[in-house]
Chain A
Amino acid sequence: MTPTPAGRRPARPPLSLRNAWNNVHTRAWIYQLLVVAGLLGLGAYLIGNAQHALSKQGISTGFSFLGARAGFEIGEKSIAFSSTDSFLRAYGVAILNTLKVSAASILLATVVGVAVGLGRLSANPLVRKLASIYVEVFRNTPQLIQLVFWYTLIANLPRPREAFSLGGMAFLSNRGLTLPWPGDMPVLRGFNFQGGVTLSPEFVALLLGLSLYIAAFIAEIVRSGVQSVGRGQVEAAQAVGLGRADIYRRIVFPQALRVMVPPAAGQYVSIIKNSSLGVAIGYPELFNVNNTIVTLSGHTVEAIAIMMSIYLAISFAIAALMNLYNRCVQIRER
């Protein structure tokens, strides 16, 4: 508050409508009241319409349908599930499938992304060119086309009998990717493999579609992160006699990490959200299973609300972790 002569408060302007309208604070209050009232009114109107429509169709509302018998099968599951189980359990299976494919994709995207990003920084022009071709191709085509492409490619692979063998241990065929498991080697019996772990074509396609696309963005994040470390830092490290590996490990990387982690976390969230594209190829993730639940239960509004809350909870949880991380690595000014 600005000091006024003789410590007196400034004289209030006479109370009138015109003066009130010209007062910044009053006007701010009026604007906000209008916006809030408008939104509440709109919300009430829309919900009223929905209730009217639902009651006319004779659809009961509420979440009690979650306990009802689901009546459908899910092809891929990490916990036991059959059509006699409840809708609630179907959500559980779907969430686990979403998390499973997301976790694998995050891992693969990070590995490929870091490799390609370092490739773009390589002193070798050949490596640099190959890495930049990768980035341009994967970044400039829609993720959904890439996903459908991988799925079609896997569907067109030879049958298990003529499967591509990766060192006689892992096999790639139109049934998916069969990997060895400790103490359990895959063997071809009849028309399919026995033993080992077989990743379904849907899972493999979604894994490739999610991770190879995001890897292009992670590569760019890695590149700009490394480049953000000042030239002086590297020169100083060289001056004290550190070798190339040590310079990277002890000087460049820790500083680059601070720049890289927040955008990389954004890309990871993007992987989790876009795992919903699994619906396009029939992988039973959250969005896909939710569609089935909507159709079978008829509880459109509730099912969509549940699905959205789950996605929001995951996104917000990662955002919260990110804020925590940022607080930890922030440069403390002395």
Chain B
Amino acid sequence: MGRRTLVSRAVVPAPGQRRAPPAQAGGLLPWLRRNFFRSPLNALATLLSLAAIAAALPRLARWAVTDAVWSSPDAEACKQAAGACWAVVPEKYRVMLFGTFPYDEQWRGMLAVAVILGLALYCALARPSARAVAASWLAAMAAVFVLMLGGVLGLEPVGTHAWGGLPLTLIMFVGTVAGGVPLGVVLALGRRSSMPAIRAVCVGFIEVVRGLPLVTVLFMASLMLPLFMPEGMSIDKFLRAQIAMTLFFAAYAAEVVRGGLQAIGKGQYEAADTVGLSYRQKMAYVILPQVGRIVLPSMMNEIIRAFKNTTFIGIIGMFDVLRATSTAIQDPVWVRYSIEAYLFIALLYFVMCYGMSRHSARIEDELTVRR
């Protein structure tokens, strides 16, 4: 470092004398200079960004809006147009959103989606108590299963093999989180247990599952689980995928919970022991409530990831939103407009994931303020 020089431009004020802070010039131009042209590098970054925006934005806008075709039942208009063919969405949305679910019964899937999204929104905005959340989700999911499976109340029975699209994605997601979080807590507690055999079992499970790709776990569940069942017994494909998704999520949830358990001071454990609480009481009333608050943001990250991961079930042959969409655009008339269809479902996922992450950030802010 040869360039290091001792330069002191600051003028030391005389004792007792106060200097006013340097005045910041107001107005548009100084503001621009301060933020966008502070240094040559900064100016270059500004110009490059502006150039990139100027090059991409008009072209993108022309393709996606100005030259786009919004409706065209037979794709004829799309062939003439230079822009996007959004007409694929109104033409194919039934298959994209409901997959192979019987066409005349798709209102049931719609209703199931409305119940799940409605309850999720209600819980996020009104923040009912934990007990109310659990009770309402249990009731809602029972209703969703009745609605989807049918066979009662005069509803046509629909097997899980015919489920598809958004209802399948959402049910799989809710099942994964509802089963995976409690299992994750148990695994995390087991990993910190003083009993070596319990610890070994939990560590082994967590590390092995976390070392494997999700598709291999799904693949194993779909191919090997039937092999391990006693003769004549079979688990349906939906349930096998659900088990795999839940176990996979639980291993990651367990590591999140473990982080929270480690963050809690030893004094909390000792205080709970001192007042004579049993292990169960200690965990339920002292430790886990604090862990819950600490791990909420990282647990939300895992939950968002679990939601994105529901697309993986398409690989073992289930018709989630992505696979249903891929199937919908096999239609030779529309296959040229696959990009538009994928962008549409990407937007669908984005809205839901972004919503979840914003919500999580808001809760995190509140918790930091309160602490």
Residues of A within 8 A of B (CB): 28, 31-33, 35-36, 39, 46-47, 49-50, 52-54, 122-127, 130, 136-137, 139-146, 148-149, 152-153, 156, 240-243, 246, 250, 273-274, 276-277, 279-280, 287, 291, 294, 300-301, 304, 307-308, 311-312, 315-316, 319
Contact = CB atoms under 8 A, between A and B. Distances in A.
B46 A241 contact: no
Given A36-B197, A124-B45, A54 B227 contact: yes
Given A123-B35, A312-B208, A241 B213 contact: no
Nearest to B354: A140
A94 to B, nearest CB: 13
B308 A49 contact: no
B342 A31 contact: no
Interface stretch (B4-12, B58-66, B284-292): B4-12
Contact of B220 (A32, A246, A280, A304): A304
A123 B33 CA distance: 12
A148 B320 CA distance: 14
Interface of B, helix, strand, loop or mixed by DSSP: helix
B215 A127 contact: no
A142 B228 contact: no
A273 to B, nearest CB: 4
Interface stretch (B74-82, B98-106, B126-134, B311-319): B311-319
A201 to B, nearest CB: 14
B349 A46 contact: no
Nearest to B343: A149
Interface residues of B, number: 62
B42 A149 contact: no
Interface in B37-57: 38, 42, 45-46, 49-50, 52-53
For the complex of A and B, the 7 pairs showing the least CB-CB separation, nearest first, are: A315-B211, A32-B197, A140-B353, A273-B213, A142-B308, A46-B228, A276-B213
B212 A312 contact: yes
7 contacts: A49-B231, A130-B53, A142-B308, A144-B314, A148-B322, A276-B213, A301-B227
B274 interface: no
Given A124-B36, A149-B343, A311-B212, A304 B224 contact: yes
Contacts of A273: 212-214
B1 interface: yes
B210 A152 contact: no
A122 B4 CA distance: 25
A52 B211 contact: no
A26 B208 CA distance: 30
Contacts of A243: 3
B49 A316 contact: no
A291 to B, nearest CB: 8
B11 to A, nearest CB: 16
B219 interface: yes
A52 B33 CA distance: 78
A125 B216 CA distance: 43
B342 A241 contact: no
A31 B195 contact: yes
Nearest to A137: B350
